[in-house]
Each structure stands twice: as structure tokens, then as C-alpha cells.
Structure 1
Amino acid sequence: MTMRARVPDRAVTAAYTLGWTLVKHLPEQTGRWAFTTIADYAWRHRLGGVDQLEANLRRLVGPDATQAELRALSRASMRSYFRYWYELFRLPAMDRRELVARTRSTGVDILEAHLRAGRGVVAALPHMGNWDQAGAWITLRGIPLTTVAERLRPESLFQRFTAVRERLGMEVLPLTRGGGTTVGTLARRLRAGGLVCLLADRDLTGQGIDVDFFGEPARMPAGPAALALATGAALLPVSLWFDGPHWGIRVHEEIRPPSAGDRTTRIRAMTQELAYVFEQEIAAHPEDWHMMQPVFTADLARPRGEVGR
């Protein structure tokens, strides 16, 4: 969660451990009510990343939207975000038949066709809906996947998250400074015809690509396009959202490398196409975009604590 700033590591670990321990024992209606209540409290008191969330959502709704409309959207987004956390805590104990039955997907045949042909796939996702549920769902279809996770503090918390995702059938690699070892492993998985899933709407490396996003400059990671270009894998955008009690998943058509241009130019063009797909899907499900960190260049340039001023 983003609300862990200035909280001691031991307290953070205890809070997450409590979540994993208690949620699976709560009736679902009670658990969802509790997490919705926490979401509303965080939204009302502007805890964690609510200011940045609203700054990001302002780009979606445009300058003509009222402050009341923006606040209503940010509240819905916080509820969606805490639904993600509730479901992540519950996933290890969730009945696999329920997980499959509540998933509504389109385009997964595109992904599976590439894998059957022995071609690797880079599935690039925005921070929408429930990406851990989507990962668990695809592994239940008999498709193993590899993903990358940002290292958390303390290390024990990162290990706990990794263990949960591995129990759901995912291979989890740490995002490391320089990324050499992790990138090499991802490339091997793709060349072997595997599936690599990457969150791709926020740059964590400091070496991202400048793209046009909702009519404004933004920074997105070059990794998905670079991996696809280097290995010959298919770059497939994937969008996720909540649909009542169900999960929505859409696999989009492949973003193909341009036929001309040097490597940098081609990666930039592919990343821009990815941004356009994300833009369309986020606009269709704005409340399910859980982006509480700076993405737009104007926000990245601001000193910490000046978001929205």
C-alpha cells in the first residue's frame, strides 16, 4: 500500500501479516465492508497517495470537471484500490472454481495462440483492476508466467509477497538496480516461448520513455517494448477492471515493431502505442486505475510534497 510512509518497518509487516491472517477467515461480505470503510477513511483524510491520485485523475476528466466530480471519482478509485488489497489477501484461500467463474475475458485466444506457436509474449498491464487475480487466473489455464516485483521494505515483507504470488503459480523476480540479472532471465523466458507479465504505466528505472498520455507528456518504462524487440516476443497490452462481483480482462492485439528506424526509435514508437491503448482503457474504467504515484512529467518535476499545488 502507499500509506506506509513514516511507519516503522515492523509495524508495516505486522499490518500485512494481520491482513493475510484475518481476511481468509472473515465472511466475504464482512471483509469487503471493512476494506471499503478503510478506503473511505483514507480518502476522506487524504492519506497516502490520494492527492497524487486526484492529480492523475484530473488529466482523465479534464479541466471542465468540477472538484466534486473529481472527488467522487477519487473515492471510487480508492474503493477499487482497497478491493484489490482485500482480494490479494484472500486469493491464497479463494476457491479456484470461483476465481474462474467470476472472470470475464476477451482476447485471451490471441495470447494463447502465440504461446502455442512457441512465441514468447510480453503482456503489458496498467495499474488497473486486480493484476494478481489475472495472474492467478491465467496460471489456472495451464500457462505459467514470470513477472517482476518492486522490492519492498523490510525484506521479510517482500519475501511474503513473493511467496503468495508463487503459491498462485507465478515466478516472481525482484526489480534490481541496473536490472541486468532480471532482464536476462526475462529474455530467456521469452526466447523459450514463455509469458512475461509487466506493469507498464509507471517508470521505476529513471530511464523511461516520454510519451503523450491524455494529451500531456508522461513517463513510461521502456522495458516491455525493449524485451519484445530484443527477443521477437509479441507485445500485447492487457487491460483489467472490476465489473460488479466479476473481474474483467481484455487482451489487445499485438503492438508490432515499426519496420524502419533504429532500436531507440522503434522502442519509443511501441511504447507510445502502448500508452494509447492504456489511455483508451483507463478512460473506459477510470475508477479502476490505481495510480497514486507521479506519472506525468509535470508531476515528476515537482519537489516531493507539492503535488496538486
Structure 2
Amino acid sequence: MAKAPSRTGTLVSTLQARAIERLWRTLAGRRLTTLWRLARLVGPLVHRFSRRERDVTEANLAHVYPESSPAERHRLARESLIHSSATMLEIGFAWMGKPERIETSLLAVHGRELLDEARAGGRGVIVLAPHFGNWEVLNFWLSSHFPFTAMYEPPKLGELDAVTRAGRERMGASLVPTNPRGVAALLKALKRSEAIGILPDQEPSWGSGVFAPFFDRLAYTATLLPKLVARTEARVVTGVARRIPGQGFEIHFLAADERVYSPDEIESATGVNACVEAAIALDPAQYQWEYKRYRKVIQEQEGHPEHRRFRIY
């Protein structure tokens, strides 16, 4: 039986949540120029003093860009952590800022015709939204323009659940749990020819994915997408909100790699990872490289493949 949290622990969590929410509300009214300046102060500090973030980022970059010099990868890691810091600082802006301010910050929308064409054909649309730029701004745009459903996992700090849900749902998005009930809700939305969002670069639990290449290295990748496509004939696009530092964001929708439509789960997962790679190519510094994308690996043991966790960072 799980141990109930102590009264002291509950109080600390509540105070932490209130402090974070207060910070978000304070930053919500700041100009993007100010938030970017803060990110340029915070990011280098994270790079210097947060060993975990720095080491994982640099390990990922060493694999993905082996032809780059160590100095180039060091610079890219630093810039990536600046952008990650900016995303965190912009949460209040995306969740609590006045909608007209956010609309004004959207400088351009590229590839909207991909969404319109799919919806005009009476099909649902699956938007693959990797951890690139500011995905909360992308959620704002999508839920402002279409009926939009996305999976939602409550934050570790449970006291922030209400404010997180309010921020993501305020423009009409429907959040569903990351369980079979949530998958059923996604299917229903697609059958109504609506749009849904999937994070394609989160590592799934064992049994919910397959190994597929991501930058030429096997990464455990979710197989939810081919299941949804097979049952709904939905169309797939990749969507990101690329940051224009200090000015705003440009929304990009990219055509999906055709392999995502394959009934073969490994082939489809390979296409999903190719979609993420294409989004990263827009600006590699804006991808969240500090995520441990390669935690799960395959080991061959006496001729039998075995799934195991490895400490490779």
C-alpha cells in the first residue's frame, strides 16, 4: 500500500505549487522580448550548473551530429537549453496571457492547407507535435481554430493540475487521459473528422511501442498512431510553433512521411521518427534535446531479443 503523504509534505507541495502559479501569472504579462532576455540569462546557468540537463543534451547531440566539432555541439547545447528555458518562461504567456496578445505573437502560419485539405475530405487529422519550440502555443492555435483533442498526463506536482488543465483547455481543447478511455476518445474525435494531437517523441511504456530508427539509432517509439490511422483513415501532419526570439512564433505544418500510413508498426514508427527529424531540421536549437530519448535499448542474449533499460547517459 502506498504511503500517504505527510502533512508537512503536503504543505510543502502546496506552497511550491502556489509559488509556481504566481510566477506564471507574473510572467504572463511580460513582453516576449523580456522573456527571451531572461531565457538568455537562465539557459547558460542551466548549462553550467545542471549536470543532468547538460550531459543528456550533449550526449544526444554527439550522436545526432557526429560530424560537428565539439565546440559546435557545445554551442548548440547551450542554445538548446536557452530555448528550453524560454519555453518554461513562456508557459504563463501561453496559458494565462490575453488571447489577443497571443494571436498577435503568431507571425505566420505555414502549411495550413495540409490541415484544410484533410478536413475538407471529411477525415480526421492527427497532428504530430514534437517537443520543439513552444508546443503550448501550438495547442493554443489548434484549439482556437478546430475542435481539438489531446492526451493529458497530470503534472507530478498534483496541486498544479487545475491550473494546467485550465491553461490548455481555455481555447476549447479537450484533454483526455493517457489510458484506454483516452484512446477511445481520440478515436471518436477522429471519426467526427476533428483534429487530435499526439506527442510523437515521448518514450512509451513497455508493450506500447516498437524500436525504430531515430537519427540512425534505435529508439523505443509509440505505436498508437498506426492503430488510430488503421481504424479511422485519418490524415497525419507534423505541427510546431517555431520561436522567433523576442518577437513571436511561426506555426509550421509539415506533410507527414508516407511511412506513417503503413500497417506495419515498425515501418509506421520509422515514419513518425522521420517526421520529428524533419521538424528538428527547421532549427535544431529549438528541440528539447535534454529528454532521454534512447533510454530503452534491445540486447541480444543467447539469440533472443530482450528489452532492457540501460544507463547510457
Per the shorter chain, which TM-score range?
0.7 to 0.9
Provide the residue aligned with 1:105 in structure 2: 109
Residue matched to 1:295? 293
Describe the shift of the 1:213–1:233 C-alpha distance in structure 2 as closer, same or farther (beyond 3 A). Answer: same
CA contact (8 A) 2:46 2:53 kept: no
1:56-95 → structure 2 map (5 Å cutoff): 56-62=60-66, 64-91=67-94, 92-95=96-99
Structure label with greater radius of gyration: 2
1:246 aligns with 2:248: yes
Residue 223 (structure 1) aligns with? 224
Matched, 1:268 2:269: no
Superposed CA deviations along residues 236-295 of structure 1, whole A, max 9, x for unmatched, are 2224422342323322225557898xx4x2x32222112122223313411010132221
CA deviation after TM superposition for structure 1 residue 158, in Å? 2.4
8 A contact 1:212–1:275 mirrored in 2? yes
Matched residue, 2:59: 55
SS at match of 1:83: helix
- Check 1:98–1:258 CA distance in 2 against 1; reply closer, same or farther (3 A cut): closer
Please state how far the C-alpha of 1:47 moved relative to its aligned partner: 4.9
Identity over the aligned pairs, expressed in percent?
19
Counterparts of 1:115 and 1:256 in 2: how far apart (Å)? 18
Tell me the amino acid that sits aligned with residue 227 of structure 1.
L
- With the length of structure 2 as denominator, give the TM-score of the two structures: 0.82
Q: Which runs of 4+ in 1 moved over 6 A?
A: 257-260
| 1:192 alignment partner AA | R
Contact residue 148 and residue 197 of structure 2 kept, 8 A:
yes
**Equivalent residue of 1:153, what SS?**
coil
Q: CA 1:10/1:40 → structure 2, altered by over 3 Å: closer, same or farther?
A: farther
Within a 5 Å distance, the mapping from 1:1-309 to structure 2 comes to 9-10=13-14, 12-62=16-66, 64-91=67-94, 92-96=96-100, 98-100=102-104, 102-140=106-144, 142-175=145-178, 179-206=179-206, 207-244=208-245, 245-256=247-258, 263=263, 265=264, 267-296=265-294, 297=296, 301-303=309-311, 307=313
For residues 38 and 259 of structure 1, do their structure 2 counterparts lie closer, same or farther at Cα, with a shift above 3 Å needed?
closer
In the TM superposition, residue 80 of structure 1 has moved relative to its aligned partner by 0.8
Matched with 2:6 is: none
Kindly indicate whether the alpha-carbon contact (under 8 Å) linking 2:14 and 2:159 is maintained by their aligned counterparts in 1. Answer: no
Seen in structure 2, the aligned counterparts of structure 1 residues 57 and 12 have a Cα distance that, compared at 3 Å, is farther
Contact 2:48–2:54 at 8 Å: present in 1 too? no
- Call closer, same or farther: CA 1:259–1:229 in 2, change over 3 Å: closer
Aligned residues between the structures: 290
CA spacing shift, 1:30–1:282, aligned 2, 3 Å: closer
Q: Which runs of 5+ in 1 are unaligned?
A: 1-7
| Counterpart code for 2:123 | R
Structure 2: 5+ residue runs without aligned partners? 1-11, 299-307
**Is the alpha carbon distance of 1:106 and 1:69 closer, same or farther for their aligned partners in structure 2, counting shifts above 3 Å?**
same
